[in-house]
């Protein structure tokens, strides 16, 4: 009895082992789902038109020699102006001012210029007085005196100085104006002579007509008396 129970127990234990071996292994745990990949949408780039870039050419001058670089500052210095050139520049300023001044101011300028000329008969004083003598608003024009003041400067021999150039230009203008005035006076004189001749002819015709009219009247009166 006890042997049969031991066999039964041993058989049951063996069946349990066989069942355990025959049972399928437990299913593995499901793997976590992979994350859904995020697809980034890149917009198409806009078409870009290339801008033409002009070619830049850099020209480099060769370095100047040491000797020229040393002389350059001396050449850049302002040229020296002598005393005569300074007087000529001041005279040109005065002549331009005379052309726009009023009559009363020009008459005072002429009086002051004549006074300065009596003190010093310099070229600048001669030219100032000569210029003022040609302006009608400064007084009666006196071209003869103006030319006489300029003649010593114009007739001076040697190189043409600034004063001589100004005097020569003014002398030529006055001479041309005097020639024009003489030509106009000659034309006026010729016209006056022609007018006087026509008036003389007219007076002669009137006198002849008057004589003829007087002679005819006297003859008619004598016939009536007989």
Q: Is residue 121 part of a domain?
A: yes
Q: Is residue 69 part of a domain?
A: no
Query: Domain residues for 115?
Result: 85-182
Instruction: Give the tens place of pLDDT for each residue, 166-194.
Output: 899 999 999 998 888 888 888 898 888 88
Are 129 and 113 in contact by the 8 Å Cβ rule? The answer is yes
Q: Count Cα atoms within 13 angstroms, Cβ side, for 210.
A: 6
Q: Is residue 189 part of a domain?
A: no
Q: Is residue 17 part of a domain?
A: no
Distance between first and last Cα of the chain: 236
Q: Is residue 122 part of a domain?
A: yes
Distance CA 203, CA 10 (A): 194
The dihedrals phi and psi of 48, each to the nearest 5 degrees, come to: -115, 120
Instruction: Give the tens place of pLDDT for each residue, 134-164.
Output: 888 888 888 899 999 999 998 887 767 888 8
Instruction: Give the tens place of pLDDT for each residue, 112-129.
Output: 999 999 999 988 899 999
Distance CA 158, CA 152 (A): 13
Q: Is residue 72 part of a domain?
A: no
Provide the 3-class DSSP secondary structure of residue 36.
coil
Q: Is residue 126 part of a domain?
A: yes
Helices (H), the chain: 2-22, 66-76, 83-98, 103-119, 123-133, 143-154, 162-225
Q: Count Cα atoms within 13 angstroms, Cβ side, for 183.
A: 6
Nearest-CA neighbor of 170 among 153, 183, 158, 182? 153
How many C-beta atoms lie closer than 10 Å to residue 66's C-beta? 8
Q: Count Cα atoms within 13 angstroms, Cβ side, for 7.
A: 3
Where does the pLDDT of residue 207 fall: very low under 50, low under 70, confident under 90, or very high at 90 and above? confident
Q: Provide the domain count of the chain.
A: 1
Where does the pLDDT of residue 65 fall: very low under 50, low under 70, confident under 90, or very high at 90 and above? low
Tell me the whole-structure pTM to 2 decimals.
0.50
Q: Is residue 142 part of a domain?
A: yes
């Amino acid at each position: 009895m006890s042997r049969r129970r031991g066999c039964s127990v041993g058989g049951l234990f063996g069946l349990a082992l066989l069942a355990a071996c025959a049972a399928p292994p437990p299913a593995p745990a499901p793997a976590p789902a992979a994350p859904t990949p995020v697809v980034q949408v890149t917009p198409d780039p806009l078409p870009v038109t290339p801008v033409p870039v002009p070619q830049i050419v850099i020209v480099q001058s060769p370095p100047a020699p040491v000797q020229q670089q040393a002389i350059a500052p001396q050449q850049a210095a302002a040229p020296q102006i002598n005393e005569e050139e300074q007087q000529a520049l001041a005279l040109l300023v005065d002549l331009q001012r005379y052309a726009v001044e009023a009559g009363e101011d020009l008459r005072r300028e002429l009086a002051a210029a004549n006074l300065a000329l009596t003190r010093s008969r310099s070229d600048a004083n001669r030219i100032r007085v000569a210029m003022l003598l040609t302006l009608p608003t400064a007084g009666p024009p006196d071209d003869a005196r103006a030319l006489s003041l300029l003649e010593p400067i114009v007739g001076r021999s040697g190189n043409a100085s600034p004063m001589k150039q100004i005097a020569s230009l003014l002398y030529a203008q006055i001479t041309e104006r005097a020639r024009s005035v003489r030509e106009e006076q000659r034309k006026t004189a010729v016209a006056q002579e022609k007018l006087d001749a026509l008036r003389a002819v007219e007076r002669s015709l009137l006198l002849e007509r008057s004589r003829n009219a007087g002679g005819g009247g006297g003859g008619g009166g004598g016939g009536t008396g007989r």
